[in-house]
Structure 1
Amino acid sequence: MTIALKDQWIWDSWYFREGDTWHGYFLKADKALLDPERRHLNVSQGHATSTDLVHWQHHGTCFAPAKSPAWDDSTTWTGSVVCDESGLYHLFYTGTCLAEGSLYQRVGHATSTDLHHWQRVGDGLCLDLVGENAAHYEHQHQKGFWHDRAMRDPWVMKDPKGEGWLMFFTARAPGIDEANAGGAIGFATSDNLYDWELQPPVFVGSFGQLEVPQVFAIGERWYCLFCTSGQHWSEAYTASQAGKLVTGNHYLIADHPRGPWQVAPGAFFDGENPCHRYAARILEIEKGHCILGFHDQDTQGFVGEILDPVAIEVDAAGLLNVTENKKDND
């Protein structure tokens, strides 16, 4: 089974494990919209639980845009969930507002005691591209150059080398002539999960956007998984792949989550044309690691459901391989 709903499309997802239970969170929109491209501006967040990542129990909507007027009254997009030392759960999410045409993205913060009912912290806004370090980002919408002011998909984790917290997010860097070379992984730090300080990006280049970042370690190596479209490859990265444009999931590698990061060498990790799996996550399970993301396209067009998990392997060089892709190439 997949995470699927008869009357709604599902796309980006993120996961939190507590004991033997996985909590899956995902973006969803009604199929009554008819055109799946309309889902982005008619979105809410769903919640489901599983003990095996295959069989899921749905619990309905757990978060949605605020009532107008608000900074997040248009959309509440992709995020991540963590738990603090007191046992309080924290949701970090992407928000946009109607007054700005949903073009300016910011990061919001909500908390919960049960992993389903979420309350915004104040008005929810916790981080924007403002202050001294905003100069390292495209902090204003570059109309005609890029389609939005990018600051979305926050991934929050404990600092493995300190007592604070780290946030990574999809962003763009300024002053780069080639639009598809300006994608960035934004970065922020916090001592307490409530007060965040914007930092310069930890990575810039190779793609126009690096969506839905997820930072994790396997052994001593750090990985930053992201997804991107073949339409957003830079000229240099396209040349390195002999022009074989695919859409899907790739990753950066580093020795520490603060970087320096570089694009993983070799072939694009998990991509197809048309795209099969997008906005993937890699999860640690008892038998190793697996990848799961939403089913993007089939012969009929957009699908909109979460695919079953598939095992991944780490080779001797520390590079990732999707087991099913490896079998296809054998």
Structure 2
Amino acid sequence: MWDSWYVEDAGVHHAFYLKAPTSLGDPDLRHANARIGHSVSTDLTTWTTMPDALGAGADGDFDDLAVWTGSIVRSEDTWHLFYTGVEKRSRTRIQRIGHATSPDLIVWDRVLTVPIATADDRWYSTAAEAPEFDEPWRDPWVFRGDADGLWHMLITAREPRTDDAGAPGSVGHAVSSDLRNWAVTAPLGSASGFRQLEVLQVLEVEGRHVLVFCAAASDVMNEVIEARTATYTAPADGPLGPFQFDRAEPITAPGIYAGRVLRNKAGDPVLLGFVEADAEGAFAGVICDPIVLGLTERGTLQPGSGRHPYQEGGE
């Protein structure tokens, strides 16, 4: 188990997460074998496993190899899952966004067998630049804008490459009025100082907006930012930015990657993410128990009175 995302319905928390069989042996093989698992909880600590939510698509479809990280929103009586799809033809090199719906968070049906959003080379790096390049376009985070009433999708993307040094990661952006038809727009900011901004999320804490993302230590390009493989937060002026990447800092919960921030019963923001390595350094593949966070004067999030991130009882 690794990346995860969450929704709450009638007091029940639903965790959706990437999973792959341990019989693969090498954990690096998990990305080409990922499907979306599902568990439920009333306290974010004790979980009951449900049937898997979604697996790979049919042969020839854009997601026929594996499905990756996404997010879920509700509109009227329908739940909408937006996820990342990767195909057999290009393996995991080219990534695109897919859409599935459910009446109950249990049974999911694909809306289309083609992607609903792909990287636009006017603003984003694509495989068309060179055959060896990746086309990052993944981890959709969807929310409804208060000001315009539109649905917004934040996407892990990259600026077009201009030299051999590589391009920084960017916050890809798409908008929709109905959750079914999406228009890709220019990125929300540039020159992030990170080679990639994975598993994006934006939320409001104590009246201030915060961008949550993760990156490896090797992804940090800005010398003023602490380089650590971790979940990061950065202050934001609003849900669509501008994002103050130069003030980004890692959450001091060592070993927790692809973290998501949600609310516990007390209304406190808590971090849940996957544990990269156990005490012996082997891939752990579990999701931590919730870690309580607080807003700092810097406008970032750091642990408050949370428990140790890796305990027995984590899902």
Fold agreement, TM-score > 0.5: yes
Once the two structures are TM-superposed, the CA of residue 40 in structure 1 deviates from its matched residue by 0.5
Q: What is the TM-score with the length of structure 1 in the denominator?
A: 0.87
Q: Where does residue 7 of structure 1 map in the other structure? A: none
Residues 267 and 224 (structure 1 numbering): CA distance in 2 closer, same or farther, change over 3 Å? closer
Residue in structure 2 matching 1:220, options 207, 210, 232: 207
Once the two structures are TM-superposed, the CA of residue 285 in structure 1 deviates from its matched residue by 2.3
Residue in structure 1 matching 2:258, options 279, 283, 294: 279
| SS at structure 2 position matched to 1:100 | coil
Amino acid at match of 2:224: S
CA distance in 2, matches of 1:326, 1:40: 29
| SS at structure 2 position matched to 1:40 | helix
CA distance in 2, matches of 1:45, 1:202: 28
Amino acid at match of 1:183: G
Residue in structure 2 matching 1:123, options 83, 98, 113: 113
CA distance in 2, matches of 1:220, 1:279: 24
Amino acid at match of 2:295: V
Once the two structures are TM-superposed, the CA of residue 122 in structure 1 deviates from its matched residue by 2.3
Q: What is the TM-score with the length of structure 2 in the denominator?
A: 0.90
Amino acid at match of 1:284: R
Q: Where does residue 208 of structure 1 map in the other structure? A: 195
Residues 192 and 54 (structure 1 numbering): CA distance in 2 closer, same or farther, change over 3 Å? same
How well do the aligned residues superpose, as a CA RMSD in angstroms?
Answer: 2.2
CA distance in 2, matches of 1:122, 1:245: 40
| 8 Å CA contact retained: 1:181, 1:206 | no
Residue in structure 1 matching 2:16, options 20, 25, 28: 25
Identity value in percent: 33
Once the two structures are TM-superposed, the CA of residue 115 in structure 1 deviates from its matched residue by 0.3
| 8 Å CA contact retained: 1:155, 1:213 | yes
Is 1:95 aligned with 2:85? Answer: yes
CA distance in 1, matches of 2:183, 2:101: 19
Where is the strand percentage greater, Structure 1 or Structure 2? Answer: 1
Q: Where does residue 4 of structure 1 map in the other structure? A: none
Q: Where does residue 244 of structure 2 map in the other structure? A: 262
| 8 Å CA contact retained: 1:138, 1:172 | yes
Q: How many residues align?
A: 305
| 8 Å CA contact retained: 2:94, 2:136 | yes
| 8 Å CA contact retained: 1:23, 1:50 | yes
| 8 Å CA contact retained: 2:210, 2:299 | no
Where is the helix percentage greater, Structure 1 or Structure 2? Answer: 1
| 8 Å CA contact retained: 1:293, 1:306 | yes
| 8 Å CA contact retained: 1:253, 1:264 | no
